[in-house]
Amino acid sequence: MLYVVATPIGNLEDISARALRILSEVELIAAEDTRHTLGLLTHFGIKKPLVSYYEHNKLSRGPELLTKLEAGADIALVSDAGLPGICDPGYELIKSCVDAGIEVTVVPGPCACVTALVLSGLPTDGFVFEGFIGTDNKRRRAFFERLRKEPRTTVCYEAPHRILKTLAELEKLFADAGEPDRRVAILRELTKTHEEALRGTATELIARFETEPPRGEFVLCIAGADDTAGTAPGGPADEAVARAFYEELIARGAAPKAALKDTMEKYGLTRNDAYRIVKVTGGHS
C-alpha cells in the first residue's frame, strides 16, 4: 500500500500521531529530499530506509517503487513540506498506483493552500487553486486573464522575489477592470514563528513591501471578481452584478421577497435601490 503522508509546513508540532505511526511502520519512505526528511525522522526518533523521489528522478524512480508496491511493500511518500501531490512530486506516483490497482491512502495533515485560504478571511465556499504562477509569460497572461472574471477566491503559491511584480500586475488588472478595491491576502511563513497575514488591496500590499522586502514562504489569496464589485455598488456594472445575483436566487427557487433581502444584505443596498435594480428586468414582483 502507498501511504501519502502529510508533514509539517513549518511547525513540527503539526505532525499527526497517525503520520508518526505510519512512518515508523512502513518498510520504505520515498522522500522529495532525503536529507530534509532525515532531519524530520531524527527529530521524532524514527529510523527507516529512505529513497529519493523528486521532480528529476520521478520517471525512473516511480517504476521501481511501483514494482516494490506490487510485490506487497508498504511505502510512505513524503515531500519537503505539506501534502505530497500539491505542487510537489506525488501525483504521478499516485496515478500510477491507481492505474495499477495498488491501494493508496492519504494520511492528511498540513497543506499551505488550505491553511492560507482559511486565514485569508476571504470566502471559502468555493475556491480555485492555481499552484505556482511561475515565470512563463504566456502562462502568467492566461492566469491574469482567468483571474479577471473568476468569481471564486483564487489561491496560488508565489516566490518571495516575484511577489512585488505579481502585486503590480494585480494592481493594474484590477484598476483596468474597475475593481481597484479587490481584496488580496498574503499569508507568510504559515505555522512558523514569524507567521503573518497581510490583507488589503494590491496597492496597500505593495506599499507594505516597499518598506520591508518580502522574505520567507508565501501564499497569495485573491478575492473573487464578484466580491468587491458587489460590496461597493455605485455604477451600472455593480448594479448588473447585484441584479444577476438576485436573478440567480430566483432561478434557484428563492421567494422574491427573500431574494430581495439577500441581495440588499450582500450588496449593502437600501430597499429602494434594490427594488430599482431588480425591477429593471421586471425580476421582482
Interface residues with ligand SAM (CB under 6 A) are 9-10, 79, 81-83, 86-88, 111-113, 157, 187, 189-192, 217-219
Residue number with CB closer to ligand SAM (217 or 262): 217
Cα end-to-end span (Å), the chain: 60
**Taking the complex as a whole, how short is the minimal distance between the CB of residue 176 and ligand SAM, in angstroms?**
26
**Taking the complex as a whole, how short is the minimal distance between the CB of residue 73 and ligand SAM, in angstroms?**
24
Q: What is the C-alpha separation between 157 and 117, in angstroms, rounded?
A: 11
DSSP SS3 for 199: strand
Phi, psi dihedrals of residue 129, rounded to the nearest 5°: -105, 120
**Taking the complex as a whole, how short is the minimal distance between the CB of residue 88 and ligand SAM, in angstroms?**
4
**Taking the complex as a whole, how short is the minimal distance between the CB of residue 65 and ligand SAM, in angstroms?**
18
**Taking the complex as a whole, how short is the minimal distance between the CB of residue 74 and ligand SAM, in angstroms?**
22
Mind giving me the DSSP string for 97-164?
A: HHHHT--EEEE----HHHHHHHHHTS--SSEEEEEE--S-HHHHHHHHHHHHH--SEEEEEE-GGGHH
Q: What is the C-alpha separation between 266 and 243, in angstroms, rounded?
A: 11
**Taking the complex as a whole, how short is the minimal distance between the CB of residue 158 and ligand SAM, in angstroms?**
6
Strand bridging mode 2-5 / 196-201: unpaired
**Taking the complex as a whole, how short is the minimal distance between the CB of residue 91 and ligand SAM, in angstroms?**
11
Strand bridging mode 75-78 / 104-107: unpaired
Residue number with CB closer to ligand SAM (6 or 223): 6
Residue number with CB closer to ligand SAM (204 or 217): 217
> Look-up: residue for cell 496597500?
204
Residue number with CB closer to ligand SAM (188 or 243): 188
Residue number with CB closer to ligand SAM (126 or 216): 216
Which residue lies nearest ligand SAM, judged by its C-beta? 82
Residue number with CB closer to ligand SAM (134 or 200): 134
How many C-beta neighbours within 10 Å does residue 189 have? 15
Q: What is the C-alpha separation between 102 and 70, in angstroms, rounded?
A: 7
Residue number with CB closer to ligand SAM (157 or 245): 157
